[in-house]
Structure 1
């Protein structure tokens, strides 16, 4: 189905520039003969490597051309459902398509099985496009499910990010900071980078302070990622100072005290100068001498 939809865009679409890139990405996500795909705004932004406004303009142009329809507008965590009307029932030359399957698929929501999907005739395109899932900048809403259910074996780097974060997840829970860890794979990688740089204790301490200062209880781990985890400094690898093997206290720093002998030159009443143990570096000796 994807190849048919892609073939239609390449050969029959009148779109240009970013609008064509958006239609190609929608076609690439089509999995049924209904030529429908459910996509969020962040998905389109990532695929097009473009800003929110650029994606919005591209979708609007495609709607005006009649080459894209919004079957269902976004609602809450559910992304919008798009359709390529020209690709419905379309087949490349030499491909075999079951006409009954094509007809049946046009009435089926690809994410709801046999549940009929909306026709989109009552959907306001402007309202639908503006109402799509938030870009998540400053928002805790994430339209994607937990990566443990979506990460493919062909993406080991994302799976590694998830595994690296597990000590942090346990430490946060043990500290009483219970939040949702439903995030994009890219967020897992971002947090894993902070774990390796700053360390779990620093991240838990920051989250505890941020939770106490927040007006509302944080519900998602991304709240802390965007709120300051990225800015945590690297964990210090400098070991604590070791005690002196000689048992001597550190040098007092007095300008008249010799740092090696720990003695000071003192002048008596007759103007004669002599060396005496520094009372700061040798407090015990000084007390005994005073006694």
Structure 2
């Protein structure tokens, strides 16, 4: 974590509301050079904001010049790499460079950026070659293992589900038989990828070790169970009184007709 980056956001940034929260989430992952990579999915988790809110916030930060994209660099999970031009200018005495993409109309990285969170070593601009890239292991970053796919033998129909789980930082050990994979795909067809991912997210704790796909198959099978029906309501005292009154009136009418 870069204390300089977070301190700069608190004391110098003009951002407000959701944009300030998103900027703090990115600054929390910045390295000593004021550079960080972050995906949309990870920012959603860290800020508890809606996807559209996060994307709009990033757009505003890019337009303001308080955040810029390091072109040509990507995080280990394909995340967008950001830098803090005003912070870098303050630390180095350099003038902040132009925005990476002034005409950008949406937050970079797409809807599925970001199983990983962490840092990158690029400084203040686009990479000039492989020598500018460094890789960090989870142990070096003291971060929980990021979600990666182990779906080498996964049927094509389940690859969208696997990609969505990876984007949500949910690691799955895929070791299902073909029949079990078909069972998972049937659940995808019945309930949709989003429902399965949301259920898995509710059952996953941060930093938790990957679980076997057979575990998730049992969890997802609960989606097929019908919701418990409400017990029948007992008749109210008003309805019982009305029924008794009607029966009494009918009995009285019978007696009068006999007389």
TM-score (ref. length: structure 2) = 0.48
Structure with more contact order per residue of length (Cα contacts < 8 Å, sep ≥ 6) = 2
TM-score (ref. length: structure 1) = 0.43
Greater share of residues in helix: 2
